[in-house]
Amino acid sequence: MCAYEVQSTSDVCEAEVAGDAAMSRACLSHASWEMANELDRVGRWGLRYGLVLVIGWIGAMKFTAYEAEGISGLVSNSPLLGWVYEVVNMRQFSAGLGIVELAIALLVGLGSYRPKLGIIGSAGAIGMFATTLSFMFTTPGVVEASAGGFPAISAMPGQFLIKDVVLLAVSVWLLANAVKANAARTNE
């Protein structure tokens, strides 16, 4: 803890004027540390609830004809999911997927209060984003031929899909944190 209470940057300047450069550097470092801790807290909150917002919003859109049509090309070209349209129609599959995505969003959101729910939600998000990223390799038009081919990717579906790399990483990070929090609760 800093022995010199830093109220503002002017306090640090006053310490320097008083000839206490070491004290001012220590206090500035303490203030920077405190600011970094607050940024970390805000960042963690933003990662969790930003992911909840993205998954929840996209999940809610799955109940619209627009979204059902929008994902049909991704689904029908996927070796993992292409068969589903033989079992259910496009709207039914989209609505079912919407239910799953809304459940994942809810579980991820509750993960900060109930780590076991966070584990389930984060694992579901990992599976969802890994599946979505597999479309990069199975959907026609991901690589933009008019721009010279790979590594140029199309706006749709290429750039639409590539963002899921970050969402997958956030989901992995949230899973790790949920596992740690659950272990800490179990050991109490």
User: pLDDT of 45-61, one tens digit each?
Assistant: 999 999 999 999 999 99
- Average pLDDT of the residues in 160-177: 96
Over the chain, what is the mean pLDDT? 87
How would DSSP label each residue in 122-139?
HHHHHHHHHHHHHHHHHS
Q: How do residues 76-87 score in pLDDT, each as one tens digit?
A: 999 999 999 999
Give me the pLDDT at residue 13, please.
46
8 backbone dihedrals φ, ψ, rounded to 5°: -160, 175
Confidence band of 180 (pLDDT split at 50, 70, 90)? very high
Q: Is the pLDDT of residue 156 over 70?
A: yes
3-state SS assignment for residue 143: strand
Give me the pLDDT at residue 91, please.
97
Domain locations along the chain: 47-186
- Average pLDDT of the residues in 166-177: 97
Does this model's pTM top 0.85? My answer is no
CA distance 106 to 164: 19
Give me the pLDDT at residue 9, please.
46
